[in-house]
Amino acid sequence: MSQALPPFQLIGAQAQDLQPGRWLLEASAGTGKTYTIAGLVARLVVETPISLDAMAVMTFTRAATAELRHRIGACLSAVLAAAKGQEVADPLASWLGERARQGPGRERLSRALDALDGASISTIHGFCQRLIGRFSLSLGAPPDLQVMTDDEGWRREWCEDYLRRLPIAPDTKDWACLQTAPSLEQLERWALLLTRNPACLLPPCPPAPDIPAFFAALRAAEPRLQSGPLGGGKLGQQRQARALELLSGASPSESRLKALASIPEGLCKADPSLAELRRQAQALAQLAELQEAHFLHAFRQALGQRLRQGEGGVSHQDLLNGLHAGLHGPQGEALASAIAASYPVVLVDEFQDTDPIQWQILERCFGGPQQRLFLIGDPKQAIYRFRGADLETYLSARESVPPAQRFALDTNYRSDAPLLASLDALYAGHPQPLADPRLNRNPVRAHHPGRLWAAAGEAALPLRATILSTNDSDSNENSLAEDCARACAAEIAHTLQAGWRRGADFAQGQPLRPQDLAVLVPSHRYGALVHRALTALGIMAVCSHRASIFDTCEAAELRALMAAWIDPSHTPTLTSAVACRVAAGTAALSPDQQQQEDLLAHWSAIFHHCGERWRRRGFLAAFTALLDAEDGAGNDGRVRLAQLSGGERSLVNLLQLAELLNAAEGEQQLVPEGLLRWFDASRQGAGEQDAESLQPRLDRDADAVRISTIHVSKGLQYPLVFLPFAWSCRQWQGSKLPLQAGQRQWLLGSGLKSKDDGYYDDRLGEEARLLYVALTRAEHALHLFWASPHMPAMQANRPLALGSPLGWLLLSAGQPLSTLIADWKERIDELTRAGAEALQAAGIACQGPRSAPANSITAIAETPKALPLISGGANPRQRWPSSYSALIRGEPTAERDDDAHLPSLERSGRDDRGWPCGAGFGTALHLVLERALAKAVPSQDFATMAQRLLMEHGITASACELITPSLQALLQKPLPGGTIPLAELPLSHRRVELPFTLALHQSCPLGRLLSEHPLSAFPDYGRGLDRLSIPPGFLSGVIDLVAFDRGAWHIVDWKSNVLPLLGEGEDRQQQLRANMQSHHYPIQYHLYALALSRHLRQRGLDSLPQLHCHYYYARYESWLSLQPEASLLQRLDQLMADGGRSDA
């Protein structure tokens, strides 16, 4: 283990003299890096003639640069105030201000404050862009270089293009790429790592496979292959089948090659052609195991060409690579000297997150003996390797700093003294707690005493642990995770009820609130488990993650509202907009149809007003009009949202979206339709917005428990922290991250996936640092959870010890890794007890899981009962189409066009009965029936109303005379199986245009479901649809008519399809079924049935004894009646439940 570093003294008699050279300040969590950097800048301003504009301060995010600029300015102001004789509380300002009273210190401080706005305080990428602009002639770059703000965007786009360009047919050069093309996510990860570390080593590339020789041997052996099996039993038949597949043109996959490589020796001796085929197959099978290495080499070559040519614009990484190349080119020495002269002082924050290219630039320019280069970072928090950060770069740079100028920050300003003592005890029992002998926990002292009180004079326990028993042999990782989430939620409930207070003492302290508590999780999947468990107990919680504001359900609702502002006369559009929470909320199936009609009319007028304001005064005027609009109860939009659970969160998201839309409208001079198209493109991820500006704002999430991934929590702190999954195992995949072996970084390919080559040690080090970050977020108290699941996957490639850094910390006692793996396999059932004993030995209070308290902790405002189909939460970037028809066609919803399959001339003409074709008639037909059934239209008035609406949609008078009597006759008859004519059904028993939205959190494999639950009415349906599925998101639609007659519910869909000449009786029914199947209507009516059953179940009807679906083909006055398959409906209901999952 490396030796502890001496403490850095920023002020006082022992303060270090900030002489030129390289400096290393190694921080620990909570030791005030930002405060130290601001103090260093202030000291250098006062103590040296170097001006602020000759200093460069760098960090890694724009948010951090803003914080740094603010803190530096505040420090300079405080020092100047002290220098003028004013009393200041900060000891640094007081000490340095006194020194600045003599000599030029005050004048230097004043000049520094004047220069603050223009000071070089930026990200490393921003600093490089500044250098390129300043030294553009030396670098051969345009001075007005435009840089893409979203590196992730170009990588994704380029990787998508690369996948599309992969060859279709195998050949000698590209066969490996064809066989092992990875996912888009994996390509993006490789592109990130290779651009940030071009020197990253790849596995050795094996020789190119000799495919022609293999296929020559295959053809030579064809007579024998055709004659019979290649050996006895099923295995021999399988070998022959694989060979015949290859002869038919199939690609030489690994499974086919291995089948031929195992041809029995006896057959090969009897037939030389088989012997040669086996030899060639064995050679290719060996290479197939290293195909990923082939792909990596080809991928890096193509990526390098993209970087050299700058395809698609200049990214931040392009800036770094360009500057790096210039500094190491023919003019590199002169360029480095010029840059060094411009910035004699450089401070780099979060240095552990640098990559090799960044460090080589910094060292080349600022590593000279006359420079002052301060490297500030914490290698124990090096957790961003997936973004290209390289711990080896930090450790190498540390060695380049003279030992006399290496220091540690030794005061913890975050955590209370009792908590720090408990963490020290936890780490003290292990000789290598960070799983890397080069990393050391430098001693730190607490700035704060205990500040958490259980009662008057009684301090709360700073570190507690809940031990979950796993005696049940069926306890696997997934079920145990759910148990831990519930146990964590129960502990939070007890903590909030315990009456604890934060402060100097109990009497003056503030009671704990939900916002004081945070739950840190390994991934969003675990966060969702905790959120669900907290919600079940009535505890408000918010998940903090780096999502896009365009991925929220508020974005989907605002899109519906904007469409209604543009066209409030379109009933489905209007109904969808009224269902939005900021408007009336989801429309309910009300027995009072007149009330529903009045509601739509009220909001139609409001949306018309919003549209007028939009066109005259811009988007923001329309949005403001929406928020100001009052409902029937006199509440405006802000009040309506405030009355809902999560309403404040929704309002914040809407306001942020409105800002983005207003900015886009002004910058691009967009009319309403153009702005709606821009919004659609942005929601699909095609926009060019600043990635940070798209993150949802969390500052308005008032009193709610925070749920965050450990990666996102880095740099943050919380009063109380819960770690329910510190015991969990993470599946490690070899190619996900680069392998660190010694001082060389490898991008891991399939040739290095064994536990050799330091792979497990490297992964364990990463996990141990992640645990350190999680353990050091708390200010007052920390609550751990320990368990040990029984895992079927407990093999050498996934040992629990490696997946659980807490297990390593508690149980390994410094044993060699190979011994540890074997030992843990032998005593898997002892792990829970052993972990609990280790925790108790460290002085940590342990307990079993507790049940949740009987009463609720934080009341959740009850959402008014409404159609239970619109689900809150994030809307995935890959969105569902907005309707059933769009789902089938993969297109956005347009007007109703049941004749879309017809040639264009036929669609614009008439059918053989003289009825018009095309979308216009379909829309008119639905509108006539909607108006007739929404109100009690007298039969004598029907013809006038119908002809007026039909002619408004371009239907000729002669066609109206054909259509109107047919529709009127329809309304005078009951539904199939009914007793009361449609027009005479009570208004309370019929609902026109019922909108719905179904939420799905996982893909729904429709093709597979149809094969498992065949439809009796369509026995052949589902064949060839194996790959048909609904992607995650929201599926919206409108049921034309819902009616209740004779104790049964009826779903009705009006169809205007043009069909071939129909027969009579059963022949006509068969033709209608064929049309249904060709348009995928069997899926449609099951989705309709699901939506209605959800609606009715919300109102206390748990079962549906009679549910009928009817399709009315208006041109032929023909009904097709169907009943949903109960088993399929039940399975769809399960998959589309909130949080439902597919087993696919």
Q: Are 12 and 95 in contact (CB under 8 A)?
A: yes
Q: Which of 1098, 1087, 1103, 1004 is nearest to 1049 (CA)?
A: 1103
Task: Give pLDDT, residue 409.
Answer: 96
For the segment 534-571, what is each residue's pLDDT rounded down to a tens digit? 988 888 888 775 557 787 778 888 998 999 999 888 87
Sequence-separated (6 or more) residues with CB below 8 Å from residue 1026: 1007, 1008, 1011
Task: Give pLDDT, residue 925.
Answer: 87
Q: What is the dihedral of CA 1090, 1096, 1102, 1105, to 10 degrees?
A: -70
For the segment 1041-1080, what is each residue's pLDDT rounded down to a tens digit? 998 887 788 999 999 888 866 667 777 888 888 888 888 8
For the segment 19-61, what is each residue's pLDDT rounded down to a tens digit? 999 999 999 999 999 999 999 999 999 999 999 999 999 998 8
Q: Please tell me which residue, 531 or 895, carries the higher pLDDT value.
A: 531
The stretch 660-678 carries a mean pLDDT of 86
Q: Please tell me which residue, 464 or 821, carries the higher pLDDT value.
A: 464
The stretch 250-269 carries a mean pLDDT of 83
Residues facing residue 375 across a β-bridge: 24, 348
Task: Give pLDDT, residue 1020.
Answer: 78
Q: What is the mean pLDDT of the chain?
A: 78
pTM listed for this prediction: 0.60
Please give the backbone phi and psi of residue 309, each rounded to the nearest 5 degrees, phi first.
-90, -15
Sheet with 1048-1055, side-by-side order of all strands: 990-1000, 1033-1045, 1048-1055, 1107-1113, 1118-1122
- Amino acid letter, residue 1074: A
Which of 94-98, 293-297, 1091-1095 is the most confident on average?
94-98
Q: Please tell me which residue, 147 or 757, carries the higher pLDDT value.
A: 147
Helices (H), 332-411: 332-342, 356-366, 391-400
Q: Answer whether residue 402 shows pLDDT above 60.
A: yes
Q: Which residue has the tokens 């899109």?
A: 559
Task: Give pLDDT, residue 42.
Answer: 97
Task: Give pLDDT, residue 558.
Answer: 92
Q: Give the integer Cα–Cα distance in Å for 561 and 888.
A: 25
Q: Please tell me which residue, 860 or 744, carries the higher pLDDT value.
A: 744
Helices (H), 407-539: 417-428, 477-497, 524-536
Task: Give pLDDT, residue 1.
Answer: 56
For the segment 337-357, what is each residue's pLDDT rounded down to a tens digit? 999 999 999 999 999 988 888
Least confident of 254-268, 518-532, 1000-1014: 1000-1014
- Name the band, by pLDDT with cuts 50, 70 and 90, for residue 867: very low
Residues facing residue 1112 across a β-bridge: 1054, 1119
Q: Which of 257, 255, 258, 274 is nearest to 266 (CA)?
A: 274
Residues facing residue 518 across a β-bridge: 706, 721
Least confident of 524-533, 672-681, 841-850, 867-876: 867-876
Q: Give the integer Cα–Cα distance in Å for 988 and 982.
A: 12
Q: Which residue has the tokens 């020197």?
A: 199
Q: Please tell me which residue, 904 or 720, carries the higher pLDDT value.
A: 720
Q: Are 332 and 140 in contact (CB under 8 A)?
A: no
The stretch 852-873 carries a mean pLDDT of 39
The stretch 358-384 carries a mean pLDDT of 94
How many beta carbons lie within 10 A of that of residue 697, not counting itself? 12
Q: Please tell me which residue, 908 or 948, carries the higher pLDDT value.
A: 948
Sequential DSSP letters for 598-666:
HHHHHHHHHHHHHHHHHHHH-HHHHHHHHHH---TTS--HHHHHHTSTTHHHHHHHHHHHHHHHHHHHH
Least confident of 463-477, 593-607, 905-919: 905-919
The stretch 578-599 carries a mean pLDDT of 67
Task: Give pLDDT, residue 877.
Answer: 29
Task: Give pLDDT, residue 718.
Answer: 95
256 alpha-carbon distance from chain centroid: 37
Angle at 297 between CA 292 and CA 303, to 5 degrees: 120
Please give the DSSP secondary-structure letter assigned to residue 1080: T
Q: Are 760 and 802 in contact (CB under 8 A)?
A: yes
Q: Give the integer Cα–Cα distance in Å for 31 and 38.
A: 14
Q: Please tell me which residue, 1140 or 818, carries the higher pLDDT value.
A: 818
Q: Which of 262, 288, 286, 285 is nearest to 274 (CA)?
A: 262
Task: Give pLDDT, residue 942.
Answer: 86
Q: Please tell me which residue, 946 or 1102, carries the higher pLDDT value.
A: 946
Least confident of 861-870, 912-921, 1116-1125: 861-870
Q: Please tell me which residue, 971 or 1008, carries the higher pLDDT value.
A: 971
> How many helices (H) and strands (E) are present in the chain, helices listed first?
45, 26
Sequence-separated (6 or more) residues with CB below 8 Å from residue 1087: 884, 998, 1035, 1037, 1132
Q: Answer whether residue 687 shows pLDDT above 50.
A: no
- Name the band, by pLDDT with cuts 50, 70 and 90, for residue 1095: confident
The stretch 972-1001 carries a mean pLDDT of 81
Tokens of 873: 């939460």
For the segment 688-744, what is each residue's pLDDT rounded down to a tens digit? 455 445 555 544 445 789 999 998 898 899 999 999 998 876 544 444 434 343 333
Tokens of 524: 């969003």
- Name the band, by pLDDT with cuts 50, 70 and 90, for residue 782: very high
Q: Give the integer Cα–Cα distance in Å for 35 and 37.
A: 6
Least confident of 149-163, 298-312, 685-699: 685-699
Task: Give pLDDT, residue 844.
Answer: 80
> Angle at which helices 316-327 and 291-309 pack, to 10 degrees?
80
Sequence-separated (6 or more) residues with CB below 8 Å from residue 753: 734, 735, 759
Least confident of 87-96, 134-143, 693-702, 1132-1141: 693-702
Provide, rounded to the nearest whole percent, the portion of the chain with pLDDT above 70: 74
**HSE-up of 707 (CA within 13 Å, CB side)?**
26
Q: Which of 526, 581, 441, 569 is nearest to 711 (CA)?
A: 526
